[in-house]
Amino acid sequence: MSTIPHETASPTDEPLANLLFDYPGADVILRSQDAYQFRVPKTYIANSSPILCELTRRTLDSPDDANPEALPVVQLPESGKILHCLLTFIFLVTPLVPSTPEETMELLSIAQKYQMDSVLTHIRDRIARHHPLPIHLEPALRIYFLAQKYGLRPEALQTARTILNYPMTIEDFDNKLDIMSGASLYELWKYHERVQAILASDLTEFKVSRAHGIIAGLRCSDISSSQIPRWLSHYISSIEKSPNLFDLVEFNAAMSRHIVNRSRELECECASIPSQTVRDFWDALASVVDGSFEKASVVDISSCLEY
């Protein structure tokens, strides 16, 4: 069945024979490495990708003398399945994301390879809304490896941050070499170290210069050298060593433990902190943590792994 405007696109798990484009006004054919053909208007392709625009121009400059009436064919190295998904983000059809993380990363890499900036943004938005990246360790490691391999910096950063929600010692990762190479694990380890170093610096600055101002006027029976409740200072410090503790549940648990321990002390007002003050403090802390992760970028993409 051909794909035409406004029709519902076929699921990606249907046979590839059902995934061929035959778009009205087609004046060029894109052919996949596995010989599937996509009849499309070259204007759409040219407007979406400067690389494909140049490939199409070269094809038009070398017409088929044996069959001059035939549409020009642009041969591409990608599979029909991935090309089909890519084209659904260019034409007026239902956009399709592949069913596996591996193919999804490949789709992103092809859009990046062909410099399809708006398409890349569209794909990432679709993934975020309907196919979010995994939050469990082993799938996240797999995505991180693929993102590094394909040079997909945003996905590498996102999954690296997810991975930091888990303990990261050599013992924890020595059985993961079947998921990703030692080189990728080493880059991840370096990223982890950079995050911790930057977090330590930024959170120390936050405790000294900003935290006290947000909760000014709060009385507590146990104040730290930063002039904030000691339980709060300890919680902030814990994030430096274990970024996964940056979680509102962990924050509330730390406050609850302090309140229980100091429940009989009248000079402690931590049990009655205004909810707006808590929100303001958490927003400020989140800004610091997010900023630290932004600074600790993954190793330069030029060192990404090869197949």
* pLDDT tens by residue, the chain, 307 residues: 334 333 333 444 444 444 477 888 888 999 999 989 999 999 999 999 999 999 999 888 776 655 656 788 999 999 999 999 999 999 988 999 998 888 999 999 999 999 999 999 999 999 999 888 788 888 888 888 888 889 898 898 888 888 887 776 666 666 666 666 677 777 777 878 888 889 999 999 999 888 888 887 788 888 888 889 999 999 999 998 888 889 899 999 999 999 888 766 667 888 888 889 999 999 999 999 988 887 876 444 334 433 3
CA 83 to CA 31: how far, in whole Å? 9
What does the pLDDT read at residue 11? 41
Q: Where are the domains of the chain?
A: 16-130, 137-190, 197-295
**pLDDT of res. 166:** 77
The pLDDT value recorded for residue 163 is: 83
- Residue 304, pLDDT score: 40
Nearest CA to 110 out of 32, 186, 167, 44 is that of 32
What is the separation of C-alpha 170 from the centre of its chain, rounded to a whole number of angstroms?
A: 25
The per-residue pLDDT for 121 is 96
Q: Which two tokens stand for residue 96?
A: 């399709």
d(CA 227, CA 209) in angstroms, rounded, equals 10
Contacts 24+ apart (CB under 8 A), 230-234: 231/255, 231/257, 231/258, 231/270, 233/207
How much is the pLDDT for 14?
Answer: 45
Task: Give the predicted TM-score (pTM) of the model.
Answer: 0.68
Q: Say which residues have a Cβ less than 8 Å from residue 37's Cβ, sequence separation at least 6.
A: 20, 29, 30, 31, 73
Per DSSP bridges, beta strands 37-40 and 73-75 are unpaired
pLDDT of amino acid 79: 94
Residue written as tokens 């050298």? Answer: 225
Element (H, E) at 74: strand 73-75
Identify any residues that bridge with 135 across adjacent strands, giving them in sequence order.
none
Which of 260, 256, 251 minimizes the C-alpha distance to 281?
Answer: 251
CA–CA distance, 192 with 165 (Å, rounded to integer): 11
Q: Give the architecture-level CATH label for domain 16-130.
A: 2-Layer Sandwich (3.30)
Phi-psi region of 25 (alpha: psi -120 to 50; beta: other; left: phi over 0): left
H or E element in which residue 285 lies = helix 275-295
